[in-house]
Structure 1
Amino acid sequence: MVFVIEFSCEQRLVQHQPTQYPTSEELSIGKIKFKAFDLGGHQIARRVWKDYYAKVDAVIYLVDAHDKERFVESKKELDALLSDEALANVPFLVLGNKIDIPYAASEDELRYNLGLTNFTTGKGKVNLVDSNVRPLEVFMCSIVRKMGYGEGFRWLSQYIK
């Protein structure tokens, strides 16, 4: 199971509505199949996140790279997830969404604002046998334009059994 948290602004430039209730969906990217649960990132949705931890194989944390005013709030929630013992060995994929919008944060800017500058593990394969490191990486994407997230999902698939 992949746990998807969408942390983005309520005002959308496209017709996609923020997640109101947890939903699940099977995703296929090439030969990779994921069963994903979109839990949403708004205040009410955050209350149910822990209900899904027991069966989580990975966390995908989706951040609105254009909504820079919410980076502090997003960092706080990401830090809480990363420090939660129930998710200690779970790989994290951070997706910076909406890069198709002018003035969206760059990958370096998003890493900096989320406090991940020196904590990501690299976009190649991390040897988990010889290290006590949780795979954690940032990829920039545009869900609307269907670009960037495939690389992130392929990276994440290396760590899902």
Structure 2
Amino acid sequence: MFLWDWIQSFLQLFGFNRKAKIMIVGLDNAGKSTLLNMLKTGRLVQFPPTGQARCEEMAVGGLTIQAYDLGGHVVMRRVWLDYFPAVDGIVFIIDSADRERLEESRVELTRILEDPEIPPIPLLILGNKTDKGDAIGKEELIMKFGLHRHLFKEEIYQRTEKDTSPRRECQLFMCSILKKQGYGDAFRWLAKATNK
């Protein structure tokens, strides 16, 4: 029951009886709804593109988390900014196997990373679909997305003392929701980052 264990540890890091809110965003077909269902039920279900925002609540041992899946179509992306002030953390999912849309995904992620109006809440980036043969690796994704200056506390990309520009905590994890790999550690990082 690995999935259940990490969900419990994720929620316990928020504190007893605390309600935490996260927002799951990314382009359509990146795996947002699949991830949300996996977090809630532990089962893999593939969904058609999300047509409207949805919220799921998960409760474990008196702890509650609300996760919002806002969809990834162009029309839905316009409402993302409206939700940011009300959440404790953001999850941005990238389809690392959809090479034709990587630039589109990079533009949306950069908009979130560099918008001064977005509160400095932690941002978890998931490079999903690593199980596919044509998926790009972590280093290539970092290069293509220009993430060197945004990643937080990763040994190779450690910020220097001279770098005083305001930045949110941000980390990249590669994962495969289909294979149930990689997102457990990612959500443990997010739980710690949002509990500071």
Same fold, TM exceeding 0.5? yes
* Partner-residue secondary structure (3-state), 2:108: helix
Q: Post-superposition shift, 1:28?
A: 7.1
Deviations 1:58-104 (A, max 9, x none): 11000000001111111111111112223241111000000111120
Match 2:186 to one of 131, 136, 152: 152
Superposed counterparts of 1:42-53, under 5 Å: 42-53=73-84
**Please, what is the CA RMSD of the aligned residues?**
2.7
Query: Is the CA contact 2:84–2:119 (under 8 Å) kept in the aligned structure 1?
Result: no
Give the Å deviation of 1:8: 4.4
Say which structure is richer in helix. 2
Aligned match of 2:96: 65
1:2, 1:37 within 8 Å by CA — same for their partners in 2?
yes
- Aligned residue-pair number: 153
Aligned match for 1:18, one of 45, 49, 58: 49
Say whether the 8 Å CA contact 1:96–1:138 is kept in structure 2. Answer: yes
Counterpart of 1:6 in structure 2 is 26
Residue aligned with 1:86, SS? coil
Check conservation: 2:26, 2:105, Cα contact below 8 A.
no
**Structure 1 CA distance for aligned equivalents of residues 81 and 116 of structure 2:** 11
Q: Give, in whole Å, the separation in 2 of the partners of 1:78 and 1:32.
A: 30
From the superposition, tell whether residues 98 and 27 of structure 1 become closer, same or farther in structure 2 (CA, over 3 Å).
farther
The percentage of aligned residue pairs carrying the same residue is 37
Matched, 1:85 2:116: yes
1: CA distance between counterparts of 2:95 and 2:46? 15
Relative distance call for 1:49 and 1:133 in structure 2 (3 A) is closer
Aligned partners of 2:152 and 2:169 also within 8 Å: yes
Q: Which runs of 5+ in 2 are unaligned?
A: 1-20, 31-44, 159-163
Q: TM-score, normalised by structure 2?
A: 0.69
Q: Quick one: which amino acid aligns to residue 143 of structure 2?
A: Y
Comparing 49-58 with 60-69, greater Cα deviation is found at 49-58
Greater shift, 83-92 or 145-154, is seen at: 83-92
State TM-score, norm by structure 1: 0.82
Alignment correspondent of 1:117: 148
Partners of 2:66 and 2:86 lie apart in 1 by 11
Q: Which runs of 5 or more residues in structure 1 are unaligned?
A: none
**Cα pair 1:8 1:62 within 8 Å, conserved:** no
Change in 2 beyond 3 A, CA 1:136/1:34: same
